[in-house]
Every structure is written in C-alpha cells, then in structure tokens.
Amino acid sequence: MNDLHKALGDISSIRRQMARSTEFRGYGPMTLAVTGATAIAAAGAQAFWLLEPTKNIPGYLAIWISTAVLSAALIGTEMHARTRRIHSGMADEMIRMAVEQFLPSAAVGALMTPVLVLYAPAALWMLPGLWQVIFSLGVFSSCRFLPRPMVAAGVWYLFTGLFCITLADVRAFSPWAMGIPYGAGQLLVAAILLFTSREAEDEN
C-alpha cells in the first residue's frame, strides 16, 4: 500500500511539473474582449446615471464591483470548459495553477476595498488606481505560464493605476479612469492571446 501511495504521489508531482512548464491556454480571446467591452459599458452607465460619484460611493462601488464579478464569472466559466478541452488530462492542475497565480491579488483588492470604505474614507479617491496596480500584480504573477507579450498588459495596468493615483483628487472617480484602463487593457490581453494562438498554429 505504501508503494502505491508513493507511486501516486510521484505521478501527481510529475503532473504538477508538466503543468508548470506548459503554456496555459484556458483564457479565450473572445471572452476577454467581452470583459473589455463590459468595462466600457460600465463606464458609460456611470457617466449616465452617476453624475457625482463622490456623493454616492455605494453606487460607484456597486457598478464596478458588479462589473468585476460578472467579468470573473465569464472568464471562469470559459476557462473551465476551454482548459478541459485543450489541456485534457492536465486540466485540473492547470486550472488550479491559474487560480493560485491570480487569487492573491484578487483577494487583496477585495479586502482592501471595505477597509478603505470603513476606516479611511478620505483616501477613497485612491481606490481606482490601487485596483489597477493590484490587478497588474496578478497579471505579472500569471505571466510565467502565459505568452511572453502578456507582460505588456501588466505594464499597461501598472501605469494606468499610477496615473490615476497622480490625479490626487476626485478626478480619479471619473468613469473613464476605470473604463479606459480596463476596456483597453482587456482588449490588449485578448489581442495578445489571439495573435499568439494563431502564431502557434502556424508553427504547427
């Protein structure tokens, strides 16, 4: 029985090593593009319905948190199906690896938001920039098993986040301070995935 457990452990270790050395192809370009369009639509909704976001922080948070949840649900659903189709036998390991890479940054963003709302409301103008900087860390963390050009998306989110912080006032609550970074950023991610997948097909 001990030999059987050892053999199963060795197989599991080999599968983990193979997953870590394999490029993850579970993110679909079309779904990423849809999340970019969703961010732009959310910015339009804020511009139309929330003329003074500083006077309605709950409304502002509702728009962007619901947008993030919807985008995560779309990406997660397709990632699960796409990974099982493309990575087949290594699907579970690949999905676990993808989640582990991005989860810390998502958790930090989720925890930081209520802390600022409850204990540092005067610093809430920093929230859009901080969200983008934290998101960039998730992208950078995931880059080791994604196409190399994905670093450009991490750089984009980092610099847009820093730019939002340099505004240093309520201008950071502009709908386009979120809509442009996430809209363009997700479209950039989609373009990178599409280009690299076609390039890989051509090589094969």
pTM listed for this prediction: 0.87
Can you give the length of the chain in residues? Answer: 204
How far out from the chain centre does Cα 83 lie?
Answer: 17
Residues 47-61: tens digit of each pLDDT = 999 999 999 999 999
Do residues 185 and 160 lie in contact, with contact meaning Cβ atoms separated by under 8 Å?
yes
End-to-end CA distance of the chain: 43
Show the DSSP H helices in the chain as ranges: 2-20, 29-49, 57-86, 91-119, 127-142, 151-167, 176-203
Spatial CA neighbour of 35 closest among 3, 69, 10: 69
Spatial CA neighbour of 28 closest among 202, 191, 201: 191
Helix 127-142 to helix 176-203 angle, to the nearest 10 degrees?
10
The one-letter amino acid code at 36 reads G
- Distance, in Å, from the CA atom of 17 to the CA atom of 70, rounded to the nearest integer, reads 32
Ranking 4-13, 144-153, 188-197 by mean pLDDT, the lowest is 4-13
Residues 21-76: tens digit of each pLDDT = 567 888 999 999 999 999 999 999 999 999 999 999 999 999 999 999 999 999 99
